[in-house]
Amino acid sequence: MLFIKSVTTLVVLFGLVFAIGAAALYAIEAPLWLAVVFAVFIAALQYAISPFILQWILKIRWVPLDQIDAKQARHLQAMCEQHKIPRPRFGIIEDGNPNAFTFGHYPGNARLVVTRGLLDICDEQEVQSVIAHELGHITHWDFVVMTVAATVPLVLYMIYRFGIRAGRGSRKGGGGVLLVALAAFVAYIISQYIVLSLSRLREYYADEFSAEATRNPNALSSALVKIAYGLARTAREQQQEDGKDRVQVSAAAAGGVRMLGIFDARFGASMALASASGYSAATQSYSADVAANAMRWDLWNPWAIVCELSSSHPLPAKRINALGKLASRIGQRPAYYIPESPPESYWDEFFVDAAYNYMPLIGLLVGLAVAAGLGVTIQAWAPAAGAALLGLGLGMLMRLRFSYPLGRFANSKVAELVPHVKVSKIRCVPAILQGTIIGRGIPGLYWSEDLVIQDRSGFMVMDYRQPLGILEFLFGLFRAEKFIGQDVTVEGWYRRFPGPYLEIFKVYLPNGEVHTSHNRGFSFAGAILATVIGLLLFLGGLMVQATGAM
C-alpha cells in the first residue's frame, strides 16, 4: 500500500501533463494518429522517469541489506540465484510505519525498499516473506506489464476525444465516427477496471511466489495482518507492557512445570495477555480469532466490494484466504480462518450510508423537483437556483451530522476499533487513542500530512484533513515532523475505506498544545451558508415571480 500511496503523486503529476497536452492537441485540431502517439509517449515517459522521481521525493537511504540484516541478505541472495535475476538495490526508509515496495524498469535495475517499521514489527520469517513478495514483482516483470496495460486506457481516451471532434466536423459518415468515439469511451471506462483487475491479479501471483520461495505462506499472512490492520506492537511497547504485567514465578516451579510438558510458566504473562486482549508475548502476535475479527470488514461489509473495484490491490483478507489455500496445498494448516457467512446482513447499513453519502445530490434534485412543482420555470433562474442550493445545503448538513458526531468520544485502543464491521467512510466510531506518533502516513514522503499512532495494542494511520488541500500540504511540509516520536492523545472518528484509519479532530501534545483539524467546522459553515443563500434566493425569486404575475 505504501507504493500505491507514493505513486499517487506521480499519477497526479503525469495526469496534469497528459491533460494539458491533450487540450493543446485538441485546440490545434491535431490528427488522431498524433493524439495516439502522444498518449503512448506519456506512458513511456512515465515508465522512464518515475523511478528517478520516486527516489527524489522519498527519503530512501540506500544501504546494502548485509549491513542491516545479514541473514535476510543471504535469503535474498539465495532467492535471486534460484530465479536467475540480479540482486535488487536495497533501500530503507527510517519511518515506523511498516511497509515495503519495489520499483524500477526491469529486473536488472530493480530497487527494493522497506521501512524501519517493517523490520521492527515483523519477525524474521515475516520479513523474509515480504521481501520474497516484492521479489515476485521483480521476477514477473510487473513494472513492464503494468506500464503496457496502463497505456491502453490513455489511447482509448484519445480516440474518444478526437473521434467526437472528427464526427462533429464530418458531413459524410459523421454518425459512424461518433459511434466509434462513444464505443471508445465505454471501452476506456472498462479498460481502467481491467487494468486494476490485472494489478490485483499480479499481487496474488507475487503472494504465490513468496509462498513457494519461502515454503511458508503463513508468514506472509501474519505479516499482512500486522501491516494492513495494525495488529502489532513495537519492541519498545512490548518491553513496557511486559515489565508492567509479567507474572513472577520461582525458577524451581518453572523448571518443574516445563519438565512435565503441561505448561511453561515462562509464558504466564503471555497467557494473561492473550486472555485479556488476544495478544501473545511468546509469539509477538495476536491470536487467530482477533486477527480474523479484523478481517471481517473485508469479506462482509458491502463497501469492501466498492473499494476493491477501484483498488490496485486485493483486500488483505482475500489475500490471506488465498495464502491459506496455498498453505493447505503444501500440507500446512492455514494461520487464519474466517467464516464465509456473516452472522447478519450488512446491506441495510450500506444503503443508509450510501443515502447519507449522496444526500447533497439527493437534496439538490429534490429542490429542483419542488421548484418545478411550484411552477418555477427555467427562465426564472433565481428561485430554481435557490431551491437547488437550499436542497444541497440541507443535504450537506444531514450528511455532516451523520458522519461527524460530537460529544461521544470514548477511550479506545487500535485493537478494539479494527474489528468493527459496520463502519465505512461515512459511518464512524468516535474514539480517543493514546499513544506515540511513529511515522507518517506515507513513509519517506516529506510532505505527507497524515501520521501513524502506535498504542499498546497496535498502530493506525491518522487522516489529517483541512478545508483546503494547501493547508494539508503546508502542515506536512513544515509541522508534521515535530509530532513524530511524541506521546499524544487524539480525538477523532474511526473509519474504514478499505483500510482502518482515524480522522483527526484534536491532537493533544504533552506540552499542553492542542492542534485541531477545522475540516468539520468549515464544512458545517459552508453547508449553513449554502442553505441560507439558497433559502433567500428561493423565497426572493418566488416573491418576484408572484409580483410579476400580478
- Using CA of residue 284, residue 285, residue 288, residue 289, what is the dihedral sign? positive
Give yes or no for a contact between 362 and 352, defined as CB atoms under 8 angstroms apart.
no
Q: How far is CA 403 from the centre of its chain?
A: 19
| Distance between CA atoms of residues 546 and 550, nearest Å | 6
- Distance set, CA 361 to CA 165, 526, 541 (Å): 31, 15, 22
134 is catalytic: yes
Which grid coordinates are listed for 132?
520474497
Would you call 478 exposed, middle or buried from its count of C-beta atoms within 10 A (0-12, 13-18, 19+)?
exposed
CA 397 to chain centroid: 27
Tell me which of 126, 134, 449, 472 is the catalytic residue: 134
Bridging pattern class, strands 111-115 and 89-93 = parallel
**Listed residue (461, 467, 522) closest to 495, CA to CA:** 461
The number of CA neighbours under 13 Å toward the Cβ of 387 is: 20
Q: Which whole-number Å values give the CA distances from 234 to 240, 282, 436, in the listed order?
A: 10, 14, 11
For cell 459552508, the residue is: 526
Residues whose CB is less than 8 angstroms from the CB of residue 15 and which lie 6 or more positions away in sequence, other chains included: none
Alpha-carbon Rg for the chain in angstroms: 27
Catalytic residue numbers read 134
